[in-house]
Structure 1
Amino acid sequence: MTRASLDKQPHEVAAMFDDVAARYDITNDVLSLGQTRLWRRAVARAVDARPGERVLDLAAGTGTSSQPFVAAGAYTVPCDFSLGMLKEGKKRLPWMPFTAGDATRLPFRDGVFDAVTISFGLRNVHDTDDALRELHRVTAPGGRIVICEFSHPTWAPFRTVYTEYLMRALPPVARAVSSSPDAYVYLAESIRAWPDQPALARHLQQAGWEKVAWRDLTGGVVALHRGVRT
């Protein structure tokens, strides 16, 4: 699966992530020029997990993104639909409650989480709107959502350079460091096809989230969207 599509087939995307699971975290660090760690810290601050809270970390992969919430004292559920990612995460962090789940049909009761978050995963879900509604369903009243996703740089000259990096530089770098470079060609194309910041905010509002806002990171390469369930 090497072409981005808005009609993504879940089994194909899951298989793609199964293939890259073992070297996923280190590959991301290389391809992002070390920015992933800064973005994770921004997500942790935005989620602001507190002791005793329940946090759902969707598209958690190997669980790296979940660890700051655990460190803050929250009961954290890392959830992903890639069994390869979950197996790799369980090897590294056997004490974490890794859970297999499809973002459009989450295996949780209504209103059980105080915060839900997804980093660099919403773009790969078969139906974005269904996923946002499901996250709304499993969030308790007063709970919050934080989405960290690749977006569109706000400065036009930088946007051009960034697009060139995605389509020209990223594939050869991925071939050097990744176990499945074709997956990263797909990821680059899916980033280009993804809605911009205001459009994603509208999707959140249409799914029932209120007080929707976003903040650009790294000049809009990544955007942090937030909302509240009232």
Structure 2
Amino acid sequence: MAIGGRAEATGVRAGLDKRPAEVAAMFDRVAGRYDLTNTVLSGGLDAGWRRATREALGARPGATVLDVAAGTAVSTVELAADGVHAIACDFSQGMLWAGASRDVPKVAGDAMALPLADESVDGVVISFGLRNVADPVAALREFSRVTRPGGTLVVCEFSSPVWGPFRTVYTEYLMRALPAIARAVSSNPEAYVYLAESIRAWPAQAELAGWLQQAGWSGVEWRDLTGGVVALHRGTKR
């Protein structure tokens, strides 16, 4: 994993008001066409982001990995491709039902209160879900609780493009084009207005790295994908 930066500890920045029950209900409403909408909105880049996340985790065959905010479990199937025992976890029952045909274990659970025992998994992955959590640092601590010492966390999340002109164009796309495209393909287009706002309000790479450190993860580093549209953050359980 190429290193795009090193972590510097920083405080949590206030974001959007995210009530878990309301966010879960929103995802229930978009579940039916969620995967299609993601592929269209990302221009087909989502599959490559999933592969990069699996590679960053680097789990060995037989390892147990928890995929938090797994949605319809398409990301969990990717993680399981290397012989990994991957478990899908999401607080949206609608999402889990939409992915019922995917042959991976599934469990309903909140990122801030996972239904797993202490030090019961070898790694945790959360893709495009941390920004929807009411208290991201509390969730990062919870991920540490369930991870065995030496285990790995990978956070795949939208981030801040590193080139200024591209960042400006990208922000314009988020607030104008993304909701318009969602109206054509999503089962609940209004939800994508929230999603666009949540991406714009999310911290840049160095600040998120600081959150991982604040939550107790060591060796924190990140790698930019697609010019910083997405960033992979990785840390190790002490």
Q: TM-score, structure 2 length as denominator?
A: 0.93
Label 1:26 to 1:222 Cα distance change in 2 as closer, same or farther (>3 A): same
What do the CA deviations read for 1:94-135 (whole angstroms, capped 9, x no partner)? x42110000001111111111100000000001101100000
Alignment of 1:35-184 (within 5 A): 35-90=45-100, 92-93=101-102, 95-184=103-192
CA deviation digits over 1:21-70, x for unaligned, max 9? Answer: 11101100000111101101100111122211000000001110011222
Question: 2:210 is matched with which residue?
Answer: 202
For the 8 Å contact 2:15–2:202, the answer to whether it is kept is no
Q: TM-score, normalised by structure 1?
A: 0.96
Shift of 1:6: 2.9
CA distance, structure 2, for counterparts of residue 160 and residue 49 of structure 1: 36
Separation in 2 of the partners of 1:214 and 1:32? 21
Q: Distance in 2 between matches of 1:68 and 1:170?
A: 26
Q: What CA distance in whole angstroms lies between the structure 2 residues aligned with 1:45 and 1:75?
A: 15
Pick from 13, 16, 24: which aligns with 1:14?
24
* 3-state SS in 2 of match to 1:62: coil
Identity of aligned residues (%): 64
CA deviations on 1:148-168 (whole Å, 9 max, x unpaired) are 000000000000000000001
Q: Distance in 1 between matches of 2:121 and 2:236?
A: 12
Deviations 1:9-30 (A, max 9, x none): 0011001100011110110000
Q: Structure 1: any 5+ residue segments left out of the alignment?
A: none
SS at match of 2:99: helix
In 2, the alpha carbon distance for the partners of 1:84 and 1:5 equals: 25
Find the residue that maps to 1:11 and give its secondary structure: helix
Residue 38 of structure 2 corresponds to which residue in structure 1?
28
Separation in 2, partners of 1:179, 1:188: 16
Contact 2:126 2:154 in 1 (8 A): yes
Task: Give the partner amino acid of 2:130.
Answer: L
In the alignment, which residue of structure 1 is the partner of 2:3?
A: none
Confirm or deny that 1:221 pairs with 2:211.
Answer: no
Q: Which has the higher contact order (CA 8 A, sep 6+)?
A: 2
Q: 1:59·1:118 contact (CA, 8 Å) conserved in 2?
A: yes
Does structure 2 conserve the Cα–Cα contact (< 8 Å) formed by 1:49 and 1:73? no
2:15 & 2:183 partners in 1: Cα distance? Answer: 22
Residues 28 and 93, structure 2, Cα contact 8 Å, conserved in 1: yes
Q: Does 1:212 align with 2:220?
A: yes
- What SS class does the counterpart of residue 227 from structure 2 fall into? helix
Gaps of 5+ in 2: 1-13
CA RMSD in angstroms comes to: 1.1
State how far apart, in whole Å, the 2-side matches of 1:33 and 1:109 are: 38
Q: By how many angstroms is 1:5 displaced? A: 5.0
- What is the one-letter code of the residue matched to 2:131? R
C-alpha contact 2:62 2:84 (8 A) present in aligned 1: yes
Mapped partners of 1:136, 1:37: distance in 2: 27
Displacement of 1:190: 0.2
